Chain A
């Protein structure tokens, strides 16, 4: 049956072509994403790592150096899809390679000052002493460093740092790190338990104080599996998605590990410390790199005014992230922004920069603006507003020498943890180095623990907990729509609450209101509509789990912010505009007890860097 080609039939044909030519095999699950021994339940891992980002894979490699230990990485996606891949700038470490004048003291001081003195200084010292070593180690693992003429990796200077100390690969430092670590994991035959969403850390014993393992949903089969483990390392990343469209983080940054950790008694440290980057695309929060402003892009409000002159008359657009973010937020708040609601913004204007230079140096920025906002930045300005970028808070690391939490057998590393080296504000290129240093430490720590301890958990407990989740899955996914709100509806409300009442600027009454609004949403969540009953790769259910975690995280952020009656680093209270070292040179610790949050405070460790006013 031949026919004259019309444009339409041609397309129909093209679509059909895909079918004929693809003729691929379709899948029946045979559990290849899960090692057979896990399926059969006849393996107890010595070290089970949750999360396959930089921290998780670094921890796995460290633990796997002990050949007699059984090590695995559990991840909700497949490896290499993590937030770490998005890091652009580099990984800091004092090596003296590019700048011989650099020193541990200098890196420590920059980090502590950048963190507005909320960093634990002994931890920072430990961190800076090891960060450089990790750069060399990554070189040996095959990290594709940009080089300098003497053959060493080249290091560049990042904002807030006094010396050039960030080694990097192009503008994709995190991507290269993740893939280098993944290559190593493949070479070391490390087990990956991929596409499994962690649901719970299972604790056995009368007092529920013996680690039994992890309960997770195997996305492919829908099976709920219990994986026994002597130790686990929680490395699940940050919680930027509490601000949903107003974050640069990937969809997967939902704080899963932090909530699971809180549920077994690990405190959530400094939850209110959330960093906002000033230049996210208004339309979806995707980051436009810091280099935009460095290359001369101007910030302009709806009246055409370069408003930064009011907030940083000397540095103007080149002021630090937090100052610029607050400037932009003020303009929008006072009605001088463009647009309404969550996607309101101000203009970032590149038109004074010669187009050749834009193409040469801001290619990725131009590309993102074109793609997401439909704007050619060589011709017109693009709408931007602050975007949640990094979570300084996280699970309390009780001992930074080992990565352990206060629950025996449970370790943590990376953005989901709080050591604390970033304090109230993280500096550029310190996150990748943190991931390497403490990923390594936690892997070693967990391995050492596993060698010295027997498995004290119980398979029965895992089975019991798995059964509970399976029942819950059936109940949740079979709920009818009638009258119940959907997961995205509740999430969108959560975001509005978080962005407008617990965002860049905060104040007591707003935060109190936010806490109430979140409670209402938590109630709605209990009956929410998921809408997909299939056991096979049920992403609707996964998103339901993630929203549950984000609601708990959000409540902790808000309550932490209510209690911290000062402004420090990324936490800005309109009603308490000054830093208050007398009352708040302290870490917030949130404990979850009987479904409620209990607060404790812990003094910041000060060694030799006396808190001073933070000025740049």
Chain B
């Protein structure tokens, strides 16, 4: 199984541990990743709010490089997935728009045109569709661990574009947790928004919701939260102390990237998955 890998900015920056653990986990699962050469930022859910067509063209460029590689695209960030899939959805449903964008790519001297031949998928969806990848590899490391499966927004919504499952009743993450030997716990914020994208413009509200989410998982007696989105992970991990303050909670729990949880389930150590780079709950992770 081979993909053109779109890591996204944070995996190369603040969430480098997500990048290294992704590499290790994919190797262990037999997923081959070839990074899209010279990819650019997906727009981080903000660029279209400055100039929609420019944001679209930039992503058409990203996709076209993968098309030239002859590979489907694999992402590991909810927002990157949404941005890329939105671009693809719009270009595939509007021939005039596709022509316009291709003219822009050509004028700028980009060598490939956007064709629409590469699918774009998220790491979670691949794993959900391919349980055989785990056969014989899962250890009992997560046995008895109560895990709050936190989806975030962009992997579920909007439904037309993020169509892997019913966004109003998702189950893929819980399914995966179970497959990894963990015990999913229900917590009421599992589909809520972490607020990452409005951190600067609505700081107080965002810290409140950050606190609510972590607190909600804590009240469900989760040992850790896992999320398929590095932005959600950063928000919940980096701002956990401020979040606690905002909602007067005492909950302190580790927030793991999806690939980190898989790494632990496959028998990797905390160090292997880069847990030392986390801000919160360093003492609370009892696995690995």
Is B188's CB under 8 angstroms from A2's CB?
no
Q: For chain A residues 1-60, which have a beta carbon within 8 Å of chain B?
A: 1-5, 9-10, 13-14, 16-17, 20-21
**B183 touches which one: A1, A2, A14, A17 (CB < 8 A)?**
A2
Contacts of A16 in B (CB 8 A): 188
B-side contacts of A13, CB under 8 Å:
186, 188
In the bound complex, CA of A427 to CA of B221 (Å): 66
> How far in angstroms is the closest Cβ of chain A from B2?
34
For the complex, what is the distance from the CA of A3 to the CA of B169, rounded to whole Å? 19
- Judge whether A21 and B192 touch: CB under 8 Å: yes
Best-surrounded residue of B146, B169, B184, B188 (most CB of chain A within 10 A):
B188
Give min CB distance, B286 to chain A, whole Å.
Answer: 15
Instruction: Name the distance in Å between A85's Cβ and chain B's nearest Cβ.
Output: 25
Within 8 A of A (CB), among B181-199: 183-186, 188-189, 192
Residues of chain B contacted by A9 (CB below 8 angstroms): 186
Q: Sort chain B's interface into a size bin.
A: 10 to 19
B222 within 8 A of A: yes
User: With a CB–CB cut-off of 8 A, which chain A residues contact B113?
Assistant: none
| CB atoms of B186 and A5 under 8 A apart | yes
Q: Does B237 contact A (CB under 8 A)?
A: no
Given contacts A9-B186, A10-B186, contact A2 B146 (CB under 8 A): yes
Interface presence of B220 (CB below 8 A): yes
B188 contact set on A, CB distance < 8 A: 13, 16-17, 20-21
Which of chain B's residues 118-144 have a Cβ closer than 8 Å to chain A?
A: none
Provide the residues of chain B in CB contact with A14, threshold 8 Å: 169
Q: Which residues of A contact B221 (CB under 8 A)?
A: 1-2
- Measured between beta carbons, the chain A residues less than 8 angstroms from B186 are 3, 5, 9-10, 13
Any A CB within 8 A of the CB of B174: yes
Q: Is the CB of A5 within 8 A of B192?
A: no
Contacts of B183 in A (CB 8 A): 2, 4
Max count, chain B CB within 10 A of own CB: residue among A2, A3, A4: A2
**Contact digits for B212-238, partner A, Cβ 8 Å, 1 yes 0 no:** 000000001110000000000000000
Are A3 and B192 touching (Cβ within 8 A)?
no
A1 to B146, CA, bound (A): 11
Bound complex: CA A357 to CA B183 (Å): 49
- Provide the bound-state CA to CA distance between A13 and B184, in Å: 13
CA A9 – CA B185 in complex, angstroms? 10
Contact partner of B222 among A2, A4, A17, A21, CB < 8 A? A2
Instruction: Give the dominant DSSP class at A's interface.
Output: helix
C-alpha spacing A389/B256, complex, angstroms:
60
Task: Report the bound CA distance from A9 to B174 in whole Å.
Answer: 13
CB distance from A584 to the nearest CB of B (A): 56
- Considering the chains assembled together, what is the distance between the CA atoms of A17 and B217 in angstroms? 13
Cα separation A5 to B186 with both chains bound (whole Å): 7
Q: How far does the alpha carbon of A13 sit from the alpha carbon of B216 in the complex, in Å?
A: 12
Expressed in whole angstroms, the Cα–Cα distance for A14 and B192 within the complex equals 12
Q: In the complex, A21→B215 CA distance in Å?
A: 13
Q: Count the A residues whose beta carbon is within 8 Å of the partner chain — how many? A: 13
In the bound complex, CA of A91 to CA of B110 (Å): 50
Give the complex CA separation of A2 and B192 in angstroms. 20
Give every chain B residue within 8 A of A1 (Cβ-Cβ): 221
Instruction: Give chain B residues whose Cβ lies under 8 Å from the Cβ of A10.
Output: 186
C-alpha gap A9/B192 in the complex (Å): 19
Give the chain B neighbours of A21 by CB distance below 8 A: 188-189, 192
Give the distance to chain B from A6, nearest Cβ to Cβ, in Å.
10
- Given A9-B186, A21-B188: A2 in contact with B174 (beta carbons within 8 A): no
Docked complex Cα distance between A2 and B169 (Å): 20
Query: How far in angstroms is the closest Cβ of chain B from A12?
Result: 9
Find chain A residues with CB under 8 A from B220 CB.
Answer: 2
Residues from chain B with a CB closer than 8 A to the CB of A5 are 174, 184-186
In the assembled complex, the Cα of A565 lies from the Cα of B188 at a distance in Å of: 68
In whole Å, how far is A215's beta carbon from the nearest beta carbon of chain B?
Answer: 45
Name which residue of chain B comes closest to A10, CB basis.
B186
Residue of B whose beta carbon sits closest to that of A6: B186
Chain B window 153-192, contacts with chain A (Cβ cutoff 8 Å), 1 for yes, 0 for no: 0000000000000000100001000000001111011001
Smallest beta-carbon distance B195→chain A, Å = 14
* Residues on A with beta carbons closer than 8 Å to the beta carbon of B174: 5
Fill in one digit per residue for A167-209: 1 if any B CB lies within 8 Å of its CB, else 0. Answer: 0000000000000000000000000000000000000000000
Contact with A along B86-99 (1 / 0, CB 8 A): 00000000000000
Least distance between A44 CB and chain B CB atoms (Å): 46
Q: Could you tell me the distance between the alpha carbons of A1 and B185 in the complex, rounded to whole angstroms? A: 9
CA distance A1 to B183 in the complex (A): 13
Q: Which residues of A contact B184 (CB under 8 A)?
A: 4-5
Q: Which chain B residues lie closer than 8 Å to A2 at the CB level?
A: 146, 183, 185, 220-222
Q: Tell me the complex Cα distance, A10–B188, Å.
A: 10
A17 to B168 Cα, complex, angstroms: 13
B187 nearest in chain A by CB position: A13
B146 surroundings in chain A (CB, below 8 A):
2
Looking at the assembled complex, report how far the CB atom of A9 sits from the nearest CB atom of chain B, in whole angstroms: 7
Which chain A residues numbered 560 to 586 have a C-beta less than 8 Å away from chain B? none
Cα(A527)–Cα(B9), bound, Å: 73
Q: What CA separation (Å) do A5 and B189 show in the bound complex? A: 15
| Cβ of B248 to closest chain A Cβ, rounded Å | 16
Nearest-CB residue, chain A, relative to B183: A4
Q: Which residues in A have their C-beta under 8 angstroms from that of B185? A: 2-3, 5
Of the listed residues B146, B183, B184, B186, the one surrounded by the most CB atoms of chain A closer than 10 A to its CB is B186
Quote the shortest CB–CB distance from B246 to chain A (angstroms): 16
Could you tell me the distance in whole angstroms from the C-beta of A5 to the nearest C-beta in chain B?
5
> Residue on A with the closest CB to B168?
A14
Chain B's nearest CB lies how many Å from the CB of A534?
Answer: 31
A594 to chain B, nearest CB (A): 58
Within the complex, the shortest CB–CB distance from A491 to chain B, in Å, comes to 35
Query: Which interface residue of A5, A13, A16 has the most chain B CB atoms within 10 A?
Result: A5
A17: chain B residues at CB < 8 Å are 188-189
Instruction: Tell me the minimal C-beta distance from A22 to chain B in angstroms.
Output: 11
What is the minimal beta-carbon distance from B64 to any residue of chain A, in angstroms? 30
Expressed in whole angstroms, the Cα–Cα distance for A9 and B54 within the complex equals: 46
Residue in B closest to A21 when the chains form the complex, CB atoms: B188
In the complex formed, the residue of A with least CB distance to B192 is A21
How far does the Cβ of B72 sit from chain A's closest Cβ, in whole Å?
28
For A20, list chain B residues within 8 Å (CB): 188
List CB contacts (< 8 Å) of B33-86 with chain A: none
Q: How far is the CB of B176 from chain A (nearest CB, A)?
A: 13
Residue of A nearest to B220 (CB): A2
The answer for the CA separation of A16 and B190 in the assembled complex, in Å, is 13
CB neighbours of B189 from chain A (8 A) = 17, 21
Closest to A14 in B: B169
| Alpha-carbon distance A3/B185, docked complex (angstroms) | 6
Q: What are 16 sample pairs from A and B whose C-beta atoms fall under 8 A apart?
A: A1-B221, A2-B146, A2-B221, A3-B185, A3-B186, A4-B183, A4-B184, A5-B185, A5-B186, A10-B186, A13-B186, A17-B189, A20-B188, A21-B188, A21-B189, A21-B192
Instruction: Known A-B contacts: A2-B146, A13-B186, A21-B192. Give 15 more (CB < 8 A).
Output: A1-B221, A2-B183, A2-B185, A2-B220, A2-B222, A3-B186, A4-B184, A5-B174, A5-B185, A9-B186, A13-B188, A14-B169, A17-B188, A21-B188, A21-B189
Closest 10 CB pairs of A and B: A17-B188, A2-B221, A13-B186, A2-B185, A2-B146, A20-B188, A5-B184, A5-B186, A10-B186, A4-B183
